[in-house]
Amino acid sequence: MNDERMQVLQMVASGQVTAEEGGFLLAALDHDGAAAAGGDAVVAQGKPRYLRVMVTEHGEHGKKVNVRVPIQLLRAGVKLGTMLPDQAKDKVNDALRQKGAAFDISGLKAEDLDMLLEHLDDLTVDVEGEKSSTVRFSVER
């Protein structure tokens, strides 16, 4: 273990930073080390563990939502989706189409989730409307 990682762990142990902040620091060290070695940071960091979704509402009384979803929960949802009866899948697909999302959940597989997570990483979407907001997706390893 290198000195920088040990220093971060000591900061967590002494209460100088929270465990979550320490995790971010360790991830940053992993990312910097992979970049310095010329490697791919995503490969060096391993499999995704969390999907973070942050919503910031713009305006005078802007609100912020910060949700961290375990990837295992998403994987379980994909597996549960395969067990839905066809009639239920049809109802879900109809509801999605009514919301403007032409998506068929009966074809969703675990590999699709991995590909989706890969493309979601560092995605930012600006939502315009009565109250504009920004939605940012990131994957934590």
Q: What does the pLDDT look like over 92-110, one tens digit per residue?
A: 889 888 888 877 888 887 7
Q: Which two tokens stand for residue 120?
A: 């979601």
pLDDT at 100: 83
pLDDT at 67: 92
Q: Does the pLDDT of residue 140 top 80, yes or no?
A: yes
**What's at 92, amino acid-wise?**
V
pLDDT at 22: 79
Cβ neighbours of residue 23 under 8 Å, at least 6 residues apart? Answer: 140
Which sign does the torsion angle of CA 96, 101, 105, 111 carry?
A: negative
The predicted-structure confidence for 31-57, as pLDDT tens digits, reads as follows 554 444 444 444 445 788 899 899 999
Q: Is the pTM of this model over 0.85?
A: no
Give how far Cα 124 sits from Cα of 31, 56, 137, Å. Answer: 20, 11, 6
